[in-house]
Amino acid sequence: MTDPSTGKLYRNKRVLLTGGAGFIGRRLRQRLSELGAVVYSLDNRPAAVQGPGDIQCDIRDAEALKAAVAGISPEIVFHLAASIDRSPESARIKPMLEVNLFGTLNLFESLKAVPACGAVVLSGTGEEYGRDARAPFLETYREDPVGPYSYSKLCVSYLAGMFFKVYRLPVIVFRPTLAYGPGQEPAMFIPSLIRTLRRGERFQMTMGEQVRDFVYVDDLVDVYLKAGVSGTGFGEIFNIGSGETCTIKDLAHKLAALMNKSSLLDIGLKAYRPAEIMDYRVDFSKAGKVFGWKAGTGLDEGLRLTLEGELNG
């Protein structure tokens, strides 16, 4: 749960949340509302615009975004809107850059005209470090992205650094590992596994030797909230992880056992992705020192909460 001293700082603050209808965005919005913030949630999907504070806007539309930002004059911004397609196809590079890089550029340009803005917190990805980096990844590593998505996010990381140095925009960049929890997009590994087994169907996967650090969504939201009112860390990059790792195969076995569906796992029938990162762990001690944060949800507990949410949702 959010530290009470942090929570008080959000009361009556104008907060802009892009991608507010997404997996992490929904949880962050809920917490912000509980803390008394005045939340404006921006999303490009008409179905996501359902109530007060909801704004339909595509971040690729520079003029529409500029008008929306000017009307809000946000004091804190959480920028989560992004294309998250993990396809390795080179045809995805241009559309990925149009959303993730140039959409972020439009947001930054709009915020330059908002003197009240005290923090802009962005989501990057640990994938920016690449396949050959030695785990746990450090923020000081030279990046080596493994596909259009991580390449576009790396571009955003450098754009954020430049906007802080040149224009003093108070930007903070997070590079989380793999977020999970109830309500995640069905195509992601954990919800796909749960839904397939729930239907009594066989689940085909790779050999599952990839080592991963999964961070529970509420823990991720906690560090976002801390950063938004910390008054520090601007212009810097912070890794975010849980510190608890397991292989994809072990994770699948854990969930299948909870569902009494272990016999439905077909391990080794799929090939690894091109340039698959086999050891995906980050050193997040910097975030602990600067924001006083650490993950509080163990993997077993997080998987239980995720399963309960998916089965009861």
| The pLDDT of residue 4 is above 70 | no
Does a structural domain hold residue 85? Answer: yes
β-sheet bridge partners, residue 79 = 18, 122
Residue 1: its pLDDT value, please?
A: 56
Residue with tokens 């045809």: 91
pLDDT band at 2 (very low <50, low <70, confident <90, very high): low
Identify the CA nearest to 308 among candidates 263, 254, 258, 265.
258
| Residue from 73, 204, 100, 242 nearest 159 by CA | 100
The pairing of strands 211-216 and 245-247 is antiparallel
Q: Which two tokens stand for residue 47?
A: 């179905």
CA distance 111 to 73: 8
Q: Is residue 276 part of a domain?
A: no
Give which of 275, 245, 248 is closest to 177, Cα–Cα: 245
Q: Per-residue pLDDT tens for 41-74? A: 999 887 766 778 999 999 999 999 999 999 999 9
pLDDT of 3 > 80? The answer is no
Per-residue pLDDT band for 231 (boundaries 50, 70, 90) equals very high
Domain contains 124: yes
Phi and psi at residue 249, to the nearest 5° = -65, -45
Q: Is the pLDDT of residue 133 over 60?
A: yes
Report which residue type is found at 181.
G
Whole-number percent of the chain with pLDDT over 90: 91
For residue 288, tell me if it sits in a domain: yes
Q: Is residue 309 in a domain?
A: no
What is the model's pLDDT at position 32?
97
Burial letters for 242-279: b for 16+ Cβ neighbours within 10 Å, e otherwise? bbbbbbbbebbbbbbebeebeebbebeeeeeeeeebeb
The region that residue 93 occupies, defined by phi over 0 for left and psi between -120 and 50 for alpha, beta otherwise, is alpha
Tell me how far apart the alpha carbons of residues 223 and 182 are, in angstroms, rounded to a whole number: 18
Q: How many structural domains comprise the chain?
A: 1
Question: Token digits for 13?
Answer: 């603050």
* Mean pLDDT confidence for 175-193: 96
166 found inside a domain: yes
| Structure confidence at residue 6 as a pLDDT band (50, 70, 90) | confident
On average, the pLDDT of the chain sits at 95
First-residue to last-residue Cα distance in the chain: 22
Q: Is residue 192 a part of any domain in this protein?
A: no
Q: Which domain holds residue 82?
A: 4-180+215-242+281-296
- For 135-197, give the DSSP string: SSB-TTSPP---SHHHHHHHHHHHHHHHHHHHH---EEEEEE-EEE-TT--TTSHHHHHHHHH
Q: Which helix (H) or strand (E) holds 238?
A: strand 236-240
Q: Is residue 273 part of a domain?
A: no
- The rounded Cα 156 to chain-centroid distance in angstroms is 14
In this structure, what CATH number is given to the domain that contains residue 49? 3.40.50.720
When pLDDT is averaged across residues 227-243 and rounded to a whole number, the result is 98
pTM: 0.95
